[in-house]
Structure 1
């Protein structure tokens, strides 16, 4: 019959053996990942050449002063308005359909280009020329879009005014 095991001998590594094992593991990781490390060193070198590391180092040294100045600036009422307006602008842009916005922006750019050309001429526009321009199909199209825009804006403003009056 087999003899019962009454004692287990656990071999503990000495501190020196643990250190050697850690060094070996570290060397293995370095050799396995040498390409990634080369890339990281290249990136750090480029950041250093560009002066980014000096800026980050200075930022970290002055972090307390920068933090207090930042908090002071953010607590100003104008900053609160800026943050709220930023959220409203993002919400507004999110409501627009991309195709409609693109068409409107293209028209705006083209209109600004045409306006720049007209201002270069530096000639006075007579009332007769204005009436003649009103018959231009492009001008009529733009005016119809403008009046539709003003109509929709007026509807919304009127709705808001009625809701406030209740």
Structure 2
């Protein structure tokens, strides 16, 4: 008859066996991801050559001091307003139609160019009241005034909704 089992001996791998198994897993992962690792090493080499890796390393080593400086800058007067203004500016830009903005900014750039270098046919003198009334017949001037009036109308309508 067979003898009854009273104890179970669990096989515990030695430290050397555990290290050999871990090394085998790492080598298997390296073999599977060879292309990705080579690309990563190339990028890492470029970062090292450009000095960006040294800067990142220094920033990580000095992260506590950098954090203290950053917090001190945020605690200065006006920093919170600057952050809020930046966020409001981003929200404003997100609301604008890029094509309309492109048209408007193109017109502004043309106006700036004309203000700095007026046409040769128009002498640059201080306009009188009669000259201003004569300019009202110019289609380009009336178009610009109409655009500005529409802008002001829209701005006033939005202000009235507040």
Give the TM-score, by structure 2 length: 0.78
Residue 20 of structure 1 corresponds to 20
Residue 83 of structure 2 corresponds to 83
Q: SS where residue 69 of structure 1 aligns? A: helix
Q: SS where residue 77 of structure 1 aligns? A: coil
Residue 141 of structure 1 corresponds to 143
Residue 125 of structure 2 corresponds to 124
- The answer to whether residue 113 in structure 2 is matched with residue 113 in structure 1 is yes
1:150–1:23 CA distance, 2 compared to 1 (3 A): same
Shift of 1:8: 5.9
Aligned counterparts of 1:29 and 1:135: Cα–Cα separation in 2: 78
Shift of 1:78: 0.8
Q: How does 1:18-97 map to 2 (within 5 A)?
A: 18-97=18-97
Shift of 1:130: 4.2
Shift of 1:111: 2.4
Number of residues of Structure 1 aligned to a counterpart in Structure 2: 158
Shift of 1:87: 1.8
Which shifted more, 46-55 or 57-66?
57-66
1:158–1:24 CA distance, 2 compared to 1 (3 A): closer
Which structure shows the bigger proportion of residues in helix conformation? 1
Q: Tell me the C-alpha RMSD between the 2 structures.
A: 3.0
- The answer to whether residue 141 in structure 2 is matched with residue 103 in structure 1 is no
